[in-house]
Structure 1
């Protein structure tokens, strides 16, 4: 790791002294092509920072100290990367300037699109924002905590260059409506900048340096099911053919009819290569079922599965290989329906989480649970993903590990659930579960940005296209959602 010192954006290290830090970084990367660069302020606590870094076994990492950059990004970005836990290593593209760790190859790959940028804070956040969807793993380390914000003109410029153009208008509307200000100069100047683009050879950056093939891979499988015995049987048969079979397969079968009996007799009629734990209950709900099944497992890894999936016989080998190489604690697989084709080839940080197509380490399930407030509603998988990030882990999407999702037309958790607001004259919008999830997991300005966007998306759904009447009805529906979301 090569150290590069700077003070207020000017390099201080011999050989680069006096250069703007962005220029110095590019020059340093050209000389030290196979090294990570540690770029830091003179007073920064680099020892604490280094100790918080994971094993750098590939070149697709990008770290910085904690820095919020600008809370107004919440108006335009709807995702899990803004509500940052400052106490853990958190996955986010936002960057600070006090301490940065980036590989020289990644720096070199950005030269065509970013070498002319003079503002160090802007340069860091631009590369972070563009590289994360491509497969670079971006994190903040909870040290050298900063509150170094973009200037207003840079905020508008950044939104114009890194988001779809409509978000510049949304940002302006949010400033007008929520903050009663009209930054017209910054708004107009933003349109003089072209959209930023980043092209990198992500496969080269993601090459693993070493592979530990001696990992002890023991796992249990958790499956909630309802009314799909023929589909579930195929799942068990697929898992039974794996080279590395699970220790336990834990099935929570649900049937709302209190007089019903199990429909899974087939599980007793065949000899399986794993222990089966079967629990039958008349209490329905995916959150409860998964939490209950997880509580009955004791393996190092828990495979969260749906009951209508099909996998090939090398499925477990692919998981083992990915865990060996990536050293990740939470992996979500590519879940495809018939006829769909996976276009991704490289792993990446994922915005969501697949509650029926993921594997998680025991460290995660010991600190995270599916939120019962979201039972029979929406968002329990996204919420679980947020819990994982807040606990200091990450959700990695692995497109090379693929499942076939049959989307069974029968059974499952598709029976309509009657909620307390069902007969209210004013129906909540968005659903109270969505409101609860957003207030719990996103920043306040993200909620306000979502509110602004939904105002336009719902235009016409209240049986009126008169702007003032729509606003009045939308406001009432939103207030209903907030009321019921709080009661949930």
Structure 2
């Protein structure tokens, strides 16, 4: 009987050939150095890339398991494709724009093996210059949405006192802690977890799928653990268009989250989102005369319903 794979690393790719190459090179190096080469499978799910991603994979990474989609079904759906087919004990979701360092995989696996109640764990994400990247937070209840929309959780004293939806203060990243959600850029979990809580929600195209999934994980009495001693470089950023899309998609995913889990509170959520969008429209679009943000938050205001 064939031995079960210990780990499967799943990477979703969409037109990021150059970044994907760097990601795979760093990943393969660490897998070899940590003695995981024969017990780890790398799977890349390509979401209809039009660049040279497929040629790159077929020519230079023949050992990588490749799943090819004709179109782009989204981050959650693509990951689910690979998760459903996985035969590994542990699954590590990794963005194509990441680079992992020494002992990341073995350290995450060690933590996961240390406690059965641990549902998912993730590293600290850092920018290429070593600076901290926001990647954790707490469940988006109405109070936290209120604090976020009115910038209350950014106030110097309150930003450490209030558990925020998006943790921006470095205080929250200073030590190992249990949080409500982690960024999907680098997540480790047991494959069996999906039998208890289900898969990522295919209805969320991008931005917010990890928030919704981690909510179900905690609801099933599993823990979500942030491990700041383990670091992964995440080349997040991109153009203003991408940042704008992220804001719109996050608003959209929050509305969906409430429709799914708290339908009786959807009116209050939309009201808070509209207030937040209007405030940002005035501050950044009108007073600061930033035309792109004026258009962005006008769209966000409309999207909130």
Per the TM alignment, residue 302 of structure 1 is displaced from its structure 2 partner at its CA by: 0.5
Counterparts of 1:301-320 in structure 2, within 5 Å, are 301-320=90-109
Cα distance between partner residues in 1 of 2:192 and 2:100: 26
Cα distance between partner residues in 1 of 2:277 and 2:25: 45
1:455/1:281 Cα in 2 relative to 1: closer, same or farther (>3 Å)? same
Partner of 2:254: 434
Compare CA radii of gyration and give the structure with the larger one.
1
Runs of 4+ in 1 over 6 A off after TM superposition: 462-465, 477-480
Partner of 1:375: 205
Cα distance between partner residues in 2 of 1:408 and 1:308: 10
Per the TM alignment, residue 298 of structure 1 is displaced from its structure 2 partner at its CA by: 1.1
Cα distance between partner residues in 2 of 1:454 and 1:299: 44
CA contact (8 A) 2:208 2:250 kept: no
Partner of 2:17: 229
Write out per-residue CA displacement over residues 226-270 of structure 1, whole angstroms, 9 at most, x where no aligned residue: 1112221222222222212452111111226xxx58633343445
1:450/1:231 Cα in 2 relative to 1: closer, same or farther (>3 Å)? same
Cα distance between partner residues in 2 of 1:347 and 1:447: 36
CA contact (8 A) 2:123 2:227 kept: yes
Per the TM alignment, residue 446 of structure 1 is displaced from its structure 2 partner at its CA by: 8.7
CA contact (8 A) 2:119 2:222 kept: yes
1:316/1:459 Cα in 2 relative to 1: closer, same or farther (>3 Å)? closer
More off after superposition, 456-465 vs 240-249: 456-465
Using the size of structure 2 for normalisation, the TM-score is: 0.64
Write out per-residue CA displacement over residues 168-212 of structure 1, whole angstroms, 9 at most, x where no aligned residue: xxxxxxxxxxxxxxxxxxxxxxxxxxxxxxxxxxxxxxxxxxxxx
Per the TM alignment, residue 455 of structure 1 is displaced from its structure 2 partner at its CA by: 2.5
Cα distance between partner residues in 2 of 1:464 and 1:406: 31
1:316/1:454 Cα in 2 relative to 1: closer, same or farther (>3 Å)? same
CA contact (8 A) 1:430 1:481 kept: no
Write out per-residue CA displacement over residues 24-48 of structure 1, whole angstroms, 9 at most, x where no aligned residue: xxxxxxxxxxxxxxxxxxxxxxxxx
* Residue ranges of structure 2 left out of the alignment (5+ in a row): 133-169, 288-299
Q: Select 2:230's aligned residue among 401, 406, 409.
A: 401
1:479/1:407 Cα in 2 relative to 1: closer, same or farther (>3 Å)? closer
Counterparts of 1:402-421 in structure 2, within 5 Å, are 402-407=231-236, 409=238, 414=242
Counterparts of 1:8-407 in structure 2, within 5 Å, are 218-241=6-29, 242=31, 243=34, 244-245=36-37, 247-255=40-48, 263-270=53-60, 275-284=63-72, 285-327=74-116, 328-339=118-129, 340-341=131-132, 344-366=173-195, 367-376=197-206, 378-407=207-236
Per the TM alignment, residue 311 of structure 1 is displaced from its structure 2 partner at its CA by: 1.1
Q: CA RMSD in A?
A: 3.8
1:429/1:248 Cα in 2 relative to 1: closer, same or farther (>3 Å)? closer
Per the TM alignment, residue 403 of structure 1 is displaced from its structure 2 partner at its CA by: 0.1
1:442/1:286 Cα in 2 relative to 1: closer, same or farther (>3 Å)? same
More off after superposition, 353-362 vs 445-454: 445-454
Cα distance between partner residues in 1 of 2:243 and 2:279: 29
1:289/1:262 Cα in 2 relative to 1: closer, same or farther (>3 Å)? farther
Secondary structure of 2:15's partner?
coil
1:334/1:311 Cα in 2 relative to 1: closer, same or farther (>3 Å)? same
Higher relative contact order (CA 8 A, sep 6+): 2
Aligned residues: 238
Question: Hey, which of these two has a bigger chunk of helix by percent?
Answer: 2
Secondary structure of 2:181's partner?
coil
Using the size of structure 1 for normalisation, the TM-score is: 0.42
